[in-house]
């Protein structure tokens, strides 16, 4: 995607070593991501990002670690991805909060059990925040239209291109956002990010906003002067992420990279890695199952919401959105 004069780029959804532990096989204590914050910054800059932030899961430690080494970096700001809960339902949601500080992080951590409390607090602090990958955790915990109609007005921004979500997922979210704008309920900005848990994906999906400085970029995000670019997700992309994290975990077991595991736990991990070698195809199988399920759910949701979003969905003759700007 060609760069326009007077616009800055940033990957507004990427992770570092500080994103916590993976949810699967918890006894192995595998990290969700093994990328050092400094390496995330270098990867983003190498891929053309003018500004850099890190959205670790419920943590700003990666951002603080980077700033401890480069305290005066003019092209970096603190962010995080907050995992919230829908009250009284087994439903998680991820909100990305941008340009925050330690005080805001601490208060949000206390409020995470209720997504509506988190959103209200962030608004009270004039924080720019976005609802990420709208349908990732949704599995009919409540009626679809109730879910959409409740969440879309909640945040001042919506992630309409996530680099690990399928194109059909991103297109449906974008169509819903445009309906909101048409109906006069629109949010200020549409954003995108790679959602990368390995260095390979950092900067592959991004947001552009008008401005020549960090503050001007953030002001343009708030005002809706932003667009997204880069790739959508796929089976290959997700499998690559899983294999990348597995490789980094195995490397950590033999002393490569950052160390946090005790010797007995490393021995347990090595034993498990050896025993599971015959199942090395499993990450690919996981990606196939996950993305096949996502594709099926997006077809269902699109049919169910077709009356509202039909005019905003690309038909078979429309150009693919993969490399286009989203105004």
Each residue's pLDDT expressed in tens, for the chain with a length of 327 residues? 567 789 999 999 999 999 976 655 444 456 778 899 999 999 999 999 999 999 999 999 999 999 999 999 999 999 999 999 999 999 999 999 999 999 999 999 999 999 999 999 999 999 999 999 999 999 999 999 999 999 998 999 999 999 999 999 999 999 998 887 776 665 668 999 999 999 999 999 999 999 999 999 999 999 999 999 999 999 888 888 877 776 665 666 555 566 565 556 556 555 555 555 544 556 677 888 999 999 999 999 999 988 767 655 665 323 333 333 333
Q: What angle do CA 38, 42, 47 make, to 5 degrees?
A: 150
Instruction: Please state, in angstroms and rounded to a whole number, the distance separating the CA atoms of residues 192 and 214.
Output: 17
For tokens 């990010």, the residue is 193
CATH architecture of 9-239+283-312: Alpha-Beta Barrel (3.20)
> What are the strands of the beta sheet with 52-54, ordered from one edge?
52-54, 76-85, 92-98, 128-131, 157-162, 189-193
Q: What angle do CA 279, 285, 289 make, to 5 degrees?
A: 150
Residue in 192, 197, 162, 94 with CA at minimum distance from that of residue 298: 162
| C-beta of residue 230 within 8 angstroms of C-beta of residue 200 | no
Residue in 303, 77, 21 with CA at minimum distance from that of residue 207: 77
Instruction: Please state, in angstroms and rounded to a whole number, the distance separating the CA atoms of residues 323 and 327.
Output: 13
> What are the strands of the beta sheet with 226-230, ordered from one edge?
7-10, 205-210, 226-230
For tokens 């700007």, the residue is 325
For tokens 């001042």, the residue is 156
Q: What are phi and psi of 40, to 5 degrees?
A: -60, -45
Q: What is the DSSP letter of 295?
A: H
């Amino acid at each position: 995607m060609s760069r326009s004069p007077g616009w800055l780029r940033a990957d507004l959804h990427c992770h570092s070593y500080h994103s916590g532990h993976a949810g699967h096989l918890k006894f192995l204590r595998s990290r969700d991501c093994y990328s050092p914050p400094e390496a995330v910054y270098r990867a983003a800059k190498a891929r053309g990002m003018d500004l850099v932030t890190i959205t670790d899961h419920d943590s700003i430690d990666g951002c603080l670690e980077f700033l401890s080494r480069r305290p005066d970096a003019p092209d970096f700001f603190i962010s995080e991805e907050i995992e919230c809960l829908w009250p009284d339902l087994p439903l998680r949601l991820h909100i990305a909060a941008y340009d925050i500080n330690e005080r805001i992080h601490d208060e949000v951590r206390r409020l995470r059990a209720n997504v509506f409390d988190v959103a209200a607090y962030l608004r009270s602090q004039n924080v720019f925040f976005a609802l990420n990958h709208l349908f990732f955790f949704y599995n009919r915990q409540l009626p679809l239209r109730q879910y959409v109609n409740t969440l879309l007005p909640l945040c001042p921004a919506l992630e309409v291109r996530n680099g690990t979500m399928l194109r059909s997922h991103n297109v449906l979210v974008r169509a819903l956002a445009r309906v909101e704008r048409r109906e006069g309920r629109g949010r200020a900005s549409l954003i995108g990010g790679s959602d990368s848990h390995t260095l390979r994906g950092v900067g592959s999906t991004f947001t552009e906003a008008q401005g020549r400085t960090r503050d001007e970029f953030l002001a343009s995000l708030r005002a809706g002067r932003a667009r997204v670019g880069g790739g959508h997700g796929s089976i290959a992309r997700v499998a690559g992420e899983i294999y990348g994290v597995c490789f980094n975990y195995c490397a950590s077991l033999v002393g490569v990279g950052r160390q946090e595991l005790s010797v007995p736990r490393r021995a347990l991990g090595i034993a498990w890695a050896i025993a599971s070698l015959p199942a090395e195809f499993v990450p690919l199988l996981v990606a196939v199952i996950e993305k096949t399920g996502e594709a099926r759910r997006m077809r269902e949701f699109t049919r169910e919401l077709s009356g509202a979003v039909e005019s905003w969905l690309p038909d078979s003759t429309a150009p693919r959105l993969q490399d286009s700007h989203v105004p």
